[in-house]
Structure 1
Amino acid sequence: MKIECLDLPDEVKKFYLDSGIEELYPPQAEAVEKGLLEGRNLLAAIPTASGKTLLAELAMLKAVLSGGKALYIVPLRALASEKFRHFREFSKLGVRVGISTGDYDRRDEGLGVNDIIVATSEKTDSLLRNDTAWMREISVVVADEVHLIDSANRGPTLEVTLAKLRRMNPSCQILALSATVGNADELAAWLDAGLVLSDWRPTDLREGVLLNGTLYFKGLDRAIEQPTKDEAVNLVLDTLREGGQCLVFESSRKNCMGFAKKAAPKVKKALSVEDRDVLAGIADEVLENSETDTAVTLAACIRAGTAFHHAGLTSASRELVEEGFRAGRIKMISSTPTLAAGLNLPARRVVIRSYRRYSSQDGMQPIPALEYKQMAGRAGRPRLDPYGEAVLLAKSNEELGNLFERYIEAGAEEIWSKLGTENALRTHVLSTIANGFAHTKEELMDFLEATFFAFQYSNFGLSTVVDECLHFLTLEGMLEEAEELVPTMFGKLVSKLYIDPLSAAVVVKGLRGAGGSLTDLTLLHLICSTPDMRLLYMRSSDYEGINDFAMTHSEEFVKVPNSFDMVEYEWFLQEVKTALLLLEWIREKPENELCSKFGVGEGDIRAIADIAEWIMHVVTQLARLLELKGAEKAAELEMRVHYGAGPELMELLDMKGIGRVRARKLYKAGFRSLADLSGAAPEAVAAVVGPKIAERIFRQLGRDDAAGTEFSAEVQLPEAGEEKAGAGQKTFNDF
């Protein structure tokens, strides 16, 4: 099916023809035949790199150029950013694109001026909770990676959000994009959607197993060279000899880093002079963003043409790795499976070095076939590679046969709703009532009947779980004690703040029960005791130090469980460890020390700080509404957690380009406010933070006279007598 034959405006057809897209792939043509451009709901369950995004683009452009508005829902912020950058190309067609992934209690009404809005499912849910007006104007909803409804973490939110959008905008078109799953027909039926189910790929995918230096495919096997004792390294080198790039999936961060280091000396020999020059520049950028040991290791790997990629890296480092790989300079990335979750980063060959994953309940377990298919789907770059290869590693003939049976010849598993528990349902019951989607138990059940859970289980047991949720919400003062379901002011605020009602109850109970003054540690531990907080794991080496700290500071905790209750006390120690990380973060402990001491990566610190900032904002708002103590203290901590600094630096940190390290340097040099900086000599500021940053500071202050100044470092600095915040703070070794 030719692009020029589609029922689209001429400017859209020209846009794609100019981009080199003249004809649709078979699954895309099937989608058009089944009503894609006529507003019909569709589920496209097709392999990675088979053109799912183009389906979304065609539907969205058809709608917005007819006066409609499109919402593109993704599971991850990184994926939202990637899609946003891609869709901005539509500005050539006069289409405005916006992105919303930030604060959960904002309406973001300004986004309504855009024609296409990209958002995570959580942000979409929060926009609905905050009665964002433009949500009622949506005419096309695209749900990317919709198979994640099967996820216990993200699934319930995506499921309820889709149900709300369909209830609010009954005529809007739903386009769901999915990996191939075992019950795609059931998912399509729930959405009242036509089904496009295909295993067609634009690039041939060969799936095989490597055993003792021989690659076994269906009906074909071939030996590869074995210059090293590591078969995965040999696969990487074999890929490079053929002019391709390689993705290696590992089961842990440690293994990711270890394999990238192991392969680096061998890969480096295959680099051109131009490759080495470009890679040196990428490595320098990594070190400009971070000076941790992990960043130093990553930079060294990048110089050799390899890299590792996992959630412990900063977003800046991950993006540099991704860009270097897309440009063809980084030849091999070893990654945790997070890289398989939607990001567009294909390679000639994908190696699944370990197909087992650790589970705290069951130990090392084989990954699901669906996850394997997602990783294997990254093999083969459309229009660039003649084929793609996905390779598993076996150690025996028996294992080789098992891998073919379990993964290569198997279909993907069925997906199941995870909505039917009190923990999953509680927040959505409150938001459904607070938003006016339901005023009685009957109306609430009627709404929930529109969920995938009810479609699969016919509401089996749902009424009992709903009753438990309603009882809890009433008991905690979030619903009125009345015949109808009426939210209190407290309940409405909890819903708008996008917090688990149980977290809100923990916060309120903690603030009411706290005796004496609220310290930084009191509030940090309080937010760490909520179910919304991501807690650090306890290593065997942590127990003595964390326990001693907890005992020493026991009066600062709202509640300390009995140490004889092993399960409760274990959770408590995890809470204390996480709170201590945050405490040292706001006391400006260097990130490299935090990473080493707490066993985390920079990306983990930022992720935990983001969650902590959000929950501390919740503490502030709830304390103000209910007139509880701690509101102002929480507001201050919210800002300190955001920046990772002492309160005296907040004014300086409002400047763009000034992080906590530079702010502390300026403060120690005597520049303690914007007024101090505004009246300072440019040379004096440049001596502290460098000429580029100094020039940026003065531009923000409106000091145009400083632009282009020849900065000199040889100047007398103002007197400074301030000690660094947090001096004398304890470490684990002090306990």
Structure 2
Amino acid sequence: MRTPPPYPWQLECLSRVARTSRSLVYTAPTGAGKSRVADALLEETLASDGGGRALVVLPYVALVRERAMALAKTLRARGIGVRAYAGGESEGWALGGDARCAVTTIEKAANAVSRALERGSFDELRIVVVDELHMVSEDERGGVLEGMLARIRHATRSGRARRGGPRIVCMSATVNARSLERLAKWLDAETYVGTYRPVELREHVVREDGVFVKTGEGLTRVRDAPRAGGSERERELGVVAELVGEVFVHGHSTLVFCASKAQCSNVAKRLAGIFHRHPAAMSLRERFVERLFDACEGAPDVDLVQAILSGIAWHHAGLTTAEKNVIEEGFRDGAILALTCTTTLAAGVNLPTRRTIIIPGYIAGTRTPSMAQYKQMAGRAGRKGQSDVGESFLIVMKKDAVAWAQNLVCGDLPPLESRLFPPSRGRDAPPTAEQKKFYLESIACGILKTKEDAGELACRTFAWTSEDDYSSILLRQEVSLKQIHDEGVVMVRRTGENSTEWCSTPEGFAFYRCSLPIAHAKKLRSELDDALRNGLNLTSRTHLLFFCISNESNFLANNLNWHVWSDWLEHDSVLHQLGEKHLGVTREYAEHAQYRLGVSAESRAVRSRHERLAAAHLLSELLANDDTIFDIEQKWSLMSNGAIDRGKIQSLQNMAATTAGMASVLANECGWSALAGLMLNVSEELQAGARRELLPLMRLDGMTGARARSLYNAGFKTPTIIASLATEKLDKLVEACLKSLSRSSRAGLDQAMRTTAWRVATSLAKNAREVSVMEARAALANLEE
């Protein structure tokens, strides 16, 4: 397909830094084509520097994968390799592989920059592209992003970058003019403000007294509100149904943003009951239902299946990645015309639509969405090549929210603020975990050695560009350095008669290398050390998995059903022995835990160990048994006082895989090589969702842990064995695939499951042949070398 010519605003933006190596910070509306400007500068920089490398930084794993595939197509003609680094599945570090362009999450990028500074390869980094730069003001990861860019600026300005340092290219759709000026000052960059949008976006507010459209004067009434009676919730649903229906009947799509997972599912199910199934669309929708069966190992949500047949679906964290992929493709292909989703989709994968509908809600007592979230959601409507117009509708049924809604639609974006040195914290506030980690990393990678370095580094932070008291930042910096010194992770060594410098201790360097927050790394090191001293229980993977669970990522924390858990501890001998002998987890405590308030630190610690062991046991069963993730979901729902869904289980698995990888690095830095190998094995198994001997099978597209276990037990132990099967002799493979499908499926789906098994077996056989050919060619190439 021929690439369309650039828009005039893109050419004007590029002209700001043409024939220079200046950095660039720019803003343009969602859907205006911001990425094309960054991609042009990226390609130009890498093409002119044969040994240079690039970092492309994005906030979400799904965005990383999507952008990496797009860049690979663009840069392949230039001979430039592209690789995605996100989550726990990426081996190595982002600036150390063969690929010259690394597309990463914020955390992976921060680690890559620190490692490059430590190893003396920072000069290879020629360009850093940051998408969604407004994330610098986000609570959870803003400090990490600010710290990474501050280290780059400090290394450049202090002369450590012999070639002038990398060009920094940053973009966002939700930055106001004042914040853009501060960002440009911070990064020493040119600025550009774009207002052009290829497809007009009409923003509306729907109130009980009418539908209002945003104009230059504010909100102007354009028509009556859709008629809906009953309770506030029923009126809201009636408005959503009418707004969806207006474009649904013409084959146009709608994204409905909801405030919670439960609301997503409920609204989608209600809409599916309202809209009639169109015979002409059934064939396409049935194909996506078949794919959903594949993704769900034979046990899809029956309500979701019925909704898809009506052209409706939901998309939230309760679904697995495979399920969400099917739904996203169904939406892009037009099989699904109305998709209910949570706010994370607004800045996640690219799903352009004709119309967006936003249902406000509350999170922790605060009205949502925020203004930045609203701009992202509304901006999904009307993308070039998708529709000739875009419409967004913010629904406000509460009278006391009318002023809030008007400000959300017509008001100015709030200023960005530093999360590394939050301005609201007092001068006497203790150092944050982000501050301590920032200074440990800066010392360990070698760019902070002296008092002068510390002062210069503070000047390179985004916080320094604010109107905050500079002395407050320097004071908090001094307190942070003192605290990490007192904690034993850094020290001051004498370098001359009257000179000293900061350096990391061996323990601090290990914490830096594993990339965990200092408190978490310290606790993990202590637990691993105790296990080595007192013995590891390797009867199952549960003891090793215990180290990979933190309460922050454990959905069983504060939700454990102590009565059921007590019973499991009594009847599972391996679990009982591990708990009693190694972890201080006893059945006696579990029997009375539901009556304990758990106020003391000791009681909270014991409860946490119980909850972590329960989560570790869940993951151990997921890896070891023949059960699918959906069978595990049903079984473990008894263990929780709160709802457990397959998305939560997969999220726990992914977080544990990442932590296991970090634990492996930590163990290796501490000299525990055997333990490091064990933790690395656990990380690889968690990433694949299968035990180690099944990993060769997991290389096949569409393979799941349960599927691999079933095939392995049937004698299909490698892709080569599957590839050798003749097309007419797939019966044994089909039977093995059938056994891997969930046994918890509802009655009446036997034929559907057999059809699914045949389709899966055929696909696996085809993919196995492709993998075998690729491996054979790679082996021949190695022999020739």
| TM more than 0.5 | yes
Say if 2:176 is the partner of 1:159.
no
Say if 2:636 is the partner of 1:602.
no
What is the correspondence of 1:298-337 to structure 2 with a 5 Å cutoff? 298-337=304-343
After superposition, the C-alpha distances for 1:647-669 in whole angstroms (9 at most, x for unaligned) are: 66567667776542233324544
Q: 1:257 to 1:559 in 2, by over 3 A?
A: same
Equivalence for 2:780: none
What is the correspondence of 1:36-435 to structure 2 with a 5 Å cutoff? 38-67=20-49, 69-91=53-75, 93-94=77-78, 96-102=80-86, 106-108=92-94, 111-114=97-100, 116-131=101-116, 136-166=123-153, 167-168=155-156, 169=161, 170-182=164-176, 183-212=179-208, 214-217=210-213, 218-223=219-224, 230-241=238-249, 243-269=251-277, 271=278, 273=280, 275-291=281-297, 295-353=301-359, 355-359=360-364, 363=365, 365-397=367-399, 399-404=401-406, 406-420=407-421, 421-435=431-445
Name whichever of 337-346 and 211-220 sits farther off: 211-220
Q: Say whether the 8 Å CA contact 1:122–1:157 is kept in structure 2.
A: yes
Match of 2:631, SS state, is helix
Unaligned runs of 5+ in 2: 214-218, 422-430, 494-499, 571-575, 738-760, 777-785
After superposition, the C-alpha distances for 1:121-179 in whole angstroms (9 at most, x for unaligned) are: 22212222333776523333221000001112111121122222332454432221012
Match of 1:317, SS state, is helix
Q: Say whether the 8 Å CA contact 1:205–1:390 is kept in structure 2.
A: yes
Quote the offset at 1:564 in angstroms.
Answer: 4.9
Quote the offset at 1:186 in angstroms.
Answer: 1.9
Q: State the one-letter code of the partner of 2:436.
A: R
Which whole-Å CA distance do the structure 2 matches of 1:600 and 1:37 have between them?
Answer: 56
After superposition, the C-alpha distances for 1:566-618 in whole angstroms (9 at most, x for unaligned) are: 37526556534533432332333431133341534434333322221232233
TM score, norm. by length of structure 1: 0.81
- Aligned-residue sequence identity (percent) comes to 24
Which whole-Å CA distance do the structure 1 matches of 2:697 and 2:78 have between them?
Answer: 39
Q: Say whether the 8 Å CA contact 1:358–1:364 is kept in structure 2.
A: yes
Equivalence for 2:599: 566
Which whole-Å CA distance do the structure 2 matches of 1:634 and 1:179 have between them?
Answer: 41
Q: State the one-letter code of the partner of 1:595.
A: E
Name whichever of 367-376 and 691-700 sits farther off: 691-700
Q: Say whether the 8 Å CA contact 1:312–1:603 is kept in structure 2.
A: yes
Which whole-Å CA distance do the structure 2 matches of 1:495 and 1:237 have between them?
Answer: 54
Match of 1:484, SS state, is strand
Q: Say whether the 8 Å CA contact 1:432–1:444 is kept in structure 2.
A: no
Name whichever of 493-502 and 683-692 sits farther off: 683-692
Which whole-Å CA distance do the structure 1 matches of 2:614 and 2:455 have between them?
Answer: 41
Q: State the one-letter code of the partner of 1:21.
A: P
Q: 1:264 to 1:135 in 2, by over 3 A?
A: farther
Q: State the one-letter code of the partner of 1:528.
A: I
Say if 2:539 is the partner of 1:518.
no
Unaligned runs of 5+ in 1: 1-14, 706-735
Equivalence for 2:750: none
Quote the offset at 1:212 in angstroms.
Answer: 4.3
Match of 1:208, SS state, is strand
Match of 2:26, SS state, is strand
Which whole-Å CA distance do the structure 1 matches of 2:437 and 2:142 have between them?
Answer: 13
Match of 2:327, SS state, is helix
Which whole-Å CA distance do the structure 1 matches of 2:374 and 2:62 have between them?
Answer: 21
After superposition, the C-alpha distances for 1:396-449 in whole angstroms (9 at most, x for unaligned) are: 555434422x31121111121111342112222222112111123432342232
Name whichever of 73-82 and 275-284 sits farther off: 275-284
Match 1:455 to one of 422, 441, 465: 465
Q: Say whether the 8 Å CA contact 1:550–1:576 is kept in structure 2.
A: no
What is the correspondence of 1:474-553 to structure 2 with a 5 Å cutoff? 474=485, 477-480=488-491, 482=493, 483-514=500-531, 516-519=534-537, 520-529=541-550, 534-536=553-555, 538=557, 542-546=561-565
Quote the offset at 1:185 in angstroms.
Answer: 2.2
Q: Say whether the 8 Å CA contact 2:352–2:386 is kept in structure 1.
A: no
Which whole-Å CA distance do the structure 2 matches of 1:52 and 1:419 have between them?
Answer: 27
Q: State the one-letter code of the partner of 2:535.
A: S
What is the correspondence of 1:11-22 to structure 2 with a 5 Å cutoff? 18-21=2-5
Match of 1:528, SS state, is coil
Q: State the one-letter code of the partner of 1:173.
A: R
Q: Say whether the 8 Å CA contact 1:69–1:139 is kept in structure 2.
A: yes
Quote the offset at 1:523 in angstroms.
Answer: 3.5
Quote the offset at 1:31 in angstroms.
Answer: 2.0
Quote the offset at 1:386 in angstroms.
Answer: 3.4
Equivalence for 1:619: 663
Q: Say whether the 8 Å CA contact 1:369–1:412 is kept in structure 2.
A: yes
Q: 1:129 to 1:312 in 2, by over 3 A?
A: farther
Q: 1:615 to 1:472 in 2, by over 3 A?
A: farther
Q: Say whether the 8 Å CA contact 2:560–2:611 is kept in structure 1.
A: no
Equivalence for 2:745: none
Which whole-Å CA distance do the structure 1 matches of 2:623 and 2:554 have between them?
Answer: 17
TM score, norm. by length of structure 2: 0.76
Quote the offset at 1:352 in angstroms.
Answer: 0.7
Match 1:642 to one of 687, 695, 702: 687
Q: Say whether the 8 Å CA contact 2:208–2:225 is kept in structure 1.
A: no
Q: Say whether the 8 Å CA contact 1:380–1:387 is kept in structure 2.
A: yes
Which whole-Å CA distance do the structure 1 matches of 2:283 and 2:19 have between them?
Answer: 47
Match of 1:334, SS state, is strand
Which whole-Å CA distance do the structure 2 matches of 1:696 and 1:304 have between them?
Answer: 32
What is the correspondence of 1:706-717 to structure 2 with a 5 Å cutoff? none
Q: Say whether the 8 Å CA contact 1:586–1:643 is kept in structure 2.
A: no
Quote the offset at 1:236 in angstroms.
Answer: 0.4
Which whole-Å CA distance do the structure 2 matches of 1:158 and 1:43 have between them?
Answer: 15
Size of the alignment, in residue pairs? Answer: 677
Q: Say whether the 8 Å CA contact 2:175–2:416 is kept in structure 1.
A: yes
RMSD over aligned CA atoms reads 3.8
Match of 2:438, SS state, is helix
Match of 1:48, SS state, is coil
Q: State the one-letter code of the partner of 1:517.
A: G
Quote the offset at 1:247 in angstroms.
Answer: 0.7
Which whole-Å CA distance do the structure 1 matches of 2:200 and 2:559 have between them?
Answer: 47
Quote the offset at 1:98 in angstroms.
Answer: 0.5
Q: Say whether the 8 Å CA contact 1:247–1:350 is kept in structure 2.
A: yes
